Chain A
């Protein structure tokens, strides 16, 4: 009986180890990943051009301090017709957090600006280069509404007025020329 239990335990342990990379894509906090990452929000509504700040918490579930982690922010659109360049969204998309203490965590802030409208997904991936492991946060669902205005910043009177004034002068000159001809 003991031998059967030992074999079963060994099989379970092996199964757990081999499925670890796949579990990296599972929601943070589920399973027994040594590193988990969690975003502070799961959904945000904003408008085009809006600036938001996200906070991700990288947690070390092991008994040893962990260093050499690399956190990376990514964003993509769920609409296949929308091209998203993540570089436009944030100029600081990769961070190298300091050593995470045993059973401790570090918080990373990500300034993001909404550059595309529509439904988008944001997530943070943490790579442990030494262990060849990538852990991904739960996706943050971002809804960016369009901003449409006919007169952005009140520029319209100027944009119409200056060419209008030149057109009036031109008209007067043409009128004068016609009269003198």
Chain B
């Protein structure tokens, strides 16, 4: 990343803005942002093609098609965000560019905020690019609006949560590979219960697991909204876990940013 200007580092806020601008510029004009979005849209196209085939063969209802499409978009946008956040600090360390960043007058918190904003921009772009597919699959049954708002809210909360989680891991760990691997493992571990549902668990225990896991509860909220036709407020309790994660982990990342060092905490 290019070093943020010293003028902007007079206060934390402008420095954060400058760092975010530079990070966004690096990501979208000189980095992986657009190739990642190309890969995302190609995957969305293949998924939508298959979903549409199933819809044509009457194997999938329209609401189920939209729900499936939204689920894929939420999962993949979460993957993009967690990869960008996990690479944010430990990647700079490994590339040997963190030292020059730390030498700039920009507060360390601003560096973390800027990196977080860049990671979140991937989520926003992915959600925007997924909308044409959601519209196409859901047109005619009045579910597109709910699916769009629901996916924006749920994926937004999950993106904030995973940005915070990825940044915390990236701040702590020296090795970028370990940071990426751990973040991916966390993502898979959080996503798995949504696929396994509550097989083999008691109803109450299964429900508890689903409510505690931000991914599962967020996706359940989306399902209730899109497939079940529930109102926005009917299952709002399911947004509690993603909401807590969306606040707690970014706050933890900001709290740890003061201790941002050239080497991670895993290195003595």
Q: Which residues of chain A are near B53, meaning CB under 8 Å?
A: 149, 152-153
Q: Which residues of chain A are near B46, meaning CB under 8 Å?
A: 159
Partner pick for A155 among B42, B57, B136, CB 8 A cutoff: B136
Q: B221 interface residue, CB < 8 Å from A?
A: no
Asked whether A162 lies within 8 Å of B29 as measured between CB atoms, the reply is: no
Asked whether B44 lies within 8 Å of A162 as measured between CB atoms, the reply is: yes
CB distance from B90 to the nearest CB of A (A): 26
Q: Contact mask A148-166 → B, CB, 8 Å, 1/0? A: 0100110110111011001
- Known contacts A152-B56, A170-B35: does B132 contact A158 (CB below 8 Å)? yes
Partner pick for A159 among B28, B34, B38, B45, CB 8 A cutoff: B45
Question: CA separation between A18 and B16, bound complex, in Å?
Answer: 90
Partner pick for A170 among B38, B52, B58, B133, CB 8 A cutoff: B38
CB distance from A148 to the nearest CB of B (A): 10
Output the nearest chain A residue to B51 by Cβ-Cβ distance: A155
Question: CA separation between A51 and B58, bound complex, in Å?
Answer: 8
Question: CA separation between A177 and B28, bound complex, in Å?
Answer: 12
Question: CA separation between A99 and B42, bound complex, in Å?
Answer: 57
- Known contacts A158-B136, A159-B49, A163-B45: does B129 contact A153 (CB below 8 Å)? no
Q: Which residues of chain B are near A113, meaning CB under 8 Å?
A: 58-59
Q: Contact mask A48-68 → B, CB, 8 Å, 1/0? A: 111100000000000000000
Question: CA separation between A115 and B54, bound complex, in Å?
Answer: 11
Q: Which residues of chain A are near B57, meaning CB under 8 Å?
A: 48-49, 147
CB distance from A159 to the nearest CB of B (A): 4
- Known contacts A155-B136, A170-B34, A173-B29: does B52 contact A162 (CB below 8 Å)? no
Q: Which of B30, B45, B48, B129 has the most chain A CB atoms closer than 10 A to its own CB?
A: B45
Asked whether B48 lies within 8 Å of A159 as measured between CB atoms, the reply is: yes
Q: A169 interface residue, CB < 8 Å from B?
A: yes
Q: Which residues of chain B are near A176, meaning CB under 8 Å?
A: 29
Q: A9 interface residue, CB < 8 Å from B?
A: no
Q: Which residues of chain A are near B58, meaning CB under 8 Å?
A: 49-51, 113
Q: Which residues of chain B are near A163, meaning CB under 8 Å?
A: 38, 41-42, 45
Q: A10 interface residue, CB < 8 Å from B?
A: no
- Known contacts A158-B133, A163-B42: does B55 contact A153 (CB below 8 Å)? yes
Q: B37 interface residue, CB < 8 Å from A?
A: yes
Asked whether B49 lies within 8 Å of A155 as measured between CB atoms, the reply is: yes
Q: Contact mask B9-28 → A, CB, 8 Å, 1/0? A: 00000000000000000001
CB distance from B130 to the nearest CB of A (A): 9
- B-side residues, CB < 8 A to A, are 28-30, 34-35, 37-38, 41-42, 44-46, 48-49, 52-53, 55-59, 129, 132-133, 136
- A-side residues, CB < 8 A to B, are 48-51, 113, 115, 147, 149, 152-153, 155-156, 158-160, 162-163, 166-167, 169-170, 173, 176-177
Given A152-B53, A158-B45, A170-B34; 12 other pairs, CB 8 A cutoff: A50-B58, A115-B59, A147-B57, A152-B49, A155-B48, A159-B48, A162-B129, A163-B38, A166-B38, A169-B34, A170-B35, A177-B30
